Chain A
Amino acid sequence: MDLSYTPEEEEFRVRLREWLAKVLPTLPAGPSPDDWPGRRAYDLGWQRMLYDAGYADVHWDASPTTRLIFLEETEKAGAPYVGANFVGLLHAGPTLAAEGTPEQRARWLPPILRGDEVWCQGFSEPDAGSDLAALRTRARRDGDDYVVSGSKIWTSHAEVADWCELLVRTDPQAPRHRGITWLAMPMDADGITVRPLRTLAGSAEFAEVFLDEVRVPVAHRVGAENDGWRVTMVTLSFERGTAFVGEVVACRRVLGELARTARENGRWDDPVLRRRLGRLSAEFRALWRLTQWNVSEAEAGGGVPGVGGSVFKLSYSHARQELYDTAAEVLGPDCLDLDRPWVLDRLSSLSYTIAAGTSQIQRNIVAERILGLPKGR
């Protein structure tokens, strides 16, 4: 067991820190939450800076430990998030890299790395959430095109995306997992309607996407027809334990801010609150160690990345909700004021036990795939 880094990794960290200290003060102010074109321009601009400095592909080609260092240092320095580049860099891109033809990789990968194009994800549907394989958006062949009709939901950045990684049903007769195909759909095609969805936090973070006879060239299919489920699953294990590195670093910073605020407003004198903050500190320390553990396992080629991720996500999503509930206790009546820090974060945190697989689904995964309990109801 070793928690030290190699000299090369330490050097990478130092160089990155120096670069961040140099470029972050030159960044323009971030856009307002509802300014989608502004968001797109800002996030792509940041990706372009990473590209020019040689950090663009850290999510793809770097070792898990290097990626861990990158995410830790960028978060600590207050660098922009991956934002609108999320699907391109962390989902569609890796899928294309693993399953695309040389032509497809040459067409789509460089613009993602250079910060030229934004991708969104068309997986979930109103009737296919946790049960993704129940998706019904239909694609039928017509010459060199697929003609796609249906609807997708929870699609982040749909308003400003250039491309959508889309799962469609190409064989309604086949067993559910065997009739699905992965397509790259241009978002400027005719027949696409994007309707923003307002979350309980008040902002339009994602959208519904309605597809009415949208034509997608067959050349935009990645993998074989009806092999889309496998193509998708290849990428779900891609994150390999580093998915929440930045968030854990951020939570530990928030915890320190909460403690200092409590000291200033007098709530620190309450031993119950103090102990709650102390326990949260223990949990986030443990989550940081669990991240390092998962990254080491991934690097050694052991473990089952997606499954180890379920253990982490269950712990983490609970702890993060607890963090913002504790923030409300620190704030007292101010926790009802949307202009106070952490109040919007508290609302956003309600999604953590739902998004990317509900905690209930994650427990099924842990119980069935790690503990070997029988499938059932």
Chain B
Amino acid sequence: MTVRFRLTEEQRALRAGVRQLLERRFGADALRAAVARPGHLDRELWRELGAAGLFALRLPEAEGGVGLGLPETVLVFEETGRALLPGPVLASHLAAGTVPGAATGECVVARADGSLVEWLDAADTVCGDASGALPLRSVDPLTPLHRVLGAGADAPDPVAVLLTAAEQLGTATRACELAVQHARAREQFGQPIGAFQAVKHLCADLLVRAETARAAVYAAAVTADPADIAAARLLADEAAVRGARDCLQVHGGMGFTWEAEVHLHLKRAWVRAQRGGGSTQSEEALAADLVA
């Protein structure tokens, strides 16, 4: 009996396990603490994540890795994205097996992606050309950024683009959950604001975009086809960025505060949307594919 295009029991268990780990080690208090110390990377947490296999997911077991495939890795990155886990998770994952210590979390790895480098100062080493990188005042308090002026636009690594899409999917899912929670709890005019169609429809669209993106991201993880990956990133970027904005809108005035979690999701989604050449690159790739 074929499993078909849905999660296996093992995949569900993996997702639940990662979610539990992140809730335990990076819960609401840790998130607040991280926002209060921009640029600081919790090295102890990093080693714990390494020990849990987060960076060595796709490394063969013979090389000390977990030996999983892209679909499982996508599920894990969806969770790190959902939890707003700070740090160069993607760069460390991509470096596992080539940069000593990256897999275990002993060595923190940053990565030049186009003209941006995340977490450069906190990293022990950097992959790609980050020479002359200048710090900028990052819009996202949980992602310190450097700008590399004059960096060439290399063809993006499809795996990096896919795993970024997975993180965006996590954000989209979380934004939908937060919006729905608030719409059910917050009362105005004597009823939950989620009873009003204007609010209800914002929430419905959040889910529709997230679930459409989910199908694209999971399928791209199965096929690893570059066009599927480009499609996944476009859908996931939109689901995350528009999702976080709609979530903010549902939260009303509270959504505009520093205190509410919502802005962190939007800002992180903006950062990720710049990776891999941005949406332009993916749209052009898919257009070219249409006439190939």
Where the two chains meet, the residues of A that have a C-beta atom closer than 8 Å to any C-beta of B are: 1-6, 65, 255-256, 259-260, 263, 268, 271, 274-279, 281-283, 285-287, 289-290, 292-293, 295-297, 299-300, 302, 311, 314-315, 360, 362-364, 366-368, 370-377
Assess the B201–A274 pair: CB atoms within 8 A: no
Residues of A within 8 A of B231 (CB): 281-283, 285-286
Residues of B within 8 A of A276 (CB): 283
Residues of B within 8 A of A315 (CB): 208-209, 212
Interface check B77, CB cutoff 8 A: no
| Further pairs besides A256-B290, A289-B219, A374-B184: 18, Cβ < 8 Å | A1-B3, A1-B7, A1-B8, A274-B284, A276-B283, A277-B286, A278-B286, A281-B289, A286-B232, A286-B235, A290-B215, A300-B6, A360-B201, A364-B201, A366-B208, A371-B176, A373-B184, A373-B203
Interface check B4, CB cutoff 8 A: yes
Size category, B interface: 35 or more
Where the two chains meet, the residues of B that have a C-beta atom closer than 8 Å to any C-beta of A are: 2-8, 11, 71, 176, 180, 183-184, 191-192, 194-197, 200-201, 203-205, 207-209, 211-216, 218-219, 221-223, 227-228, 230-232, 234-235, 280, 282-287, 289-291
Residues of B within 8 A of A286 (CB): 212-213, 215-216, 231-232, 235
Given contacts A281-B287, A364-B197, contact A371 B216 (CB under 8 A): no
Which applies to chain B's interface (DSSP): helix, strand, loop or mixed?
Answer: helix
Given contacts A1-B3, A363-B201, contact A371 B207 (CB under 8 A): yes
Q: How far is the CA of A279 from the CA of B278 in the complex (A)?
A: 13
The minimal Cβ–Cβ distance linking A244 to chain B, given in whole angstroms, is 13
The minimal Cβ–Cβ distance linking B222 to chain A, given in whole angstroms, is 5
Assess the B5–A281 pair: CB atoms within 8 A: no
The listed residue with most B CB atoms (<10 A of its CB), out of A1, A362, A363, A372, is A1
Assess the A2–B235 pair: CB atoms within 8 A: no
Between-chain CB contacts (< 8 Å), 7 pairs: A4-B2, A260-B291, A275-B283, A282-B283, A295-B4, A311-B212, A377-B197
The minimal Cβ–Cβ distance linking A40 to chain B, given in whole angstroms, is 37
The listed residue with most B CB atoms (<10 A of its CB), out of A2, A6, A268, is A2
Assess the B227–A3 pair: CB atoms within 8 A: no
Residues of A within 8 A of B284 (CB): 271, 274-275, 278
